[in-house]
Amino acid sequence: MIEIMEHGNSGIKIFSYKGQKALQVVGVENGFTKLAKNIETPFARIIEIGTDYGGLTNLLADNEIAEVAEIHTFDILANRFVCHNDKITFHHKDVFKHEEEIADMISKDGRTLLLCDGGHKQREFEVFHKYLKSGDVIMAHDYAPNDQEFVNNFKHKIWSWHEFRDDYADFEGLEFYMQDVFKKYAWCIRRKK
């Protein structure tokens, strides 16, 4: 089901899942499995901003992280995604024009996992973190802790894109959570206190 491939000439390997490309570090599913085992109660929903081809979306639907969760994925492009699991609902929408809809999803009973992986990760994180409930988790992709660490330890080694760093996640009420696990997959992760 997982097929590893080169990402252009970047020197970085990515993968496809069930034929859908995932612009993710190979092995990221292991991080989500560890997250599933570490939380006190399972996630009721996963909200993904930035579906793209949907490789990660489909992988998450089959992972322990979505054992009881419904998955809502949002993208402004509708022609790339192929759904392989009935847990997934695709929304062809601009999240910033539908902020209230996403806020309502987050506010429902049960824990939410919010993944910011669209074209404006910093803004996605900034806008939607404020709706999180205690115990909810928010993540942002294309992460390195800071610019220097990206240059020294990430670029052409782990991940060659840097769109999110620690200071973008510095909001009151959010705490570091399992960052040691997700750093190697270029994901920032925080939990709502």
| Residue 79 clears pLDDT 90, i.e. is over it | no
CA 126 – CA 171 distance, rounded (Å)? 8
pLDDT at 36: 98
Provide the whole-model pTM: 0.97
> In the sheet where 174-176 sits, what is the strand order?
88-92, 70-75, 43-49, 111-116, 137-141, 187-192, 174-176
135, β-bridge pairs: none
Name the residue among 154, 86, 142, 80 with its Cα closest to residue 117: 142
Q: What is the mean pLDDT of residues 64-82?
A: 95
pLDDT digits (tens, 9 = 90+) for 17-65: 999 999 999 999 999 999 999 999 999 999 999 999 999 999 999 999 9
CB atoms within 10 A of CB 29: 21
The chain-wide mean pLDDT, for the chain, equals 97
Rounded average pLDDT over 61-80: 96
Secondary structure (H, E, C), 110-171: CEEEEEECCCCHHHHHHHHHHHCCCCCEEEEECECCCHHHHHHHHCCCCCCCCCECHHHHCC
% of the chain with per-residue pLDDT over 70: 100
> Mean pLDDT across the stretch 171-185?
98
Q: Which CATH architecture has domain 2-192?
A: 3-Layer(aba) Sandwich (3.40)
Per-residue pLDDT band at 157 (split at 50, 70, 90): very high
pLDDT at residue 178 in the model: 98
Compute how many other C-beta atoms are within 10 angstroms of the C-beta atom of residue 183: 19
- In the predicted model, what is the mean pLDDT of residues 127-138? 98
112 touches 44 (CB < 8 A): yes
Length of the chain: 193
Domain residue extents for the chain = 2-192
> Nearest Cα to 136, choosing from 186, 166, 174, 87?
174
- Confidence at 114, pLDDT banded by 50, 70, 90: very high
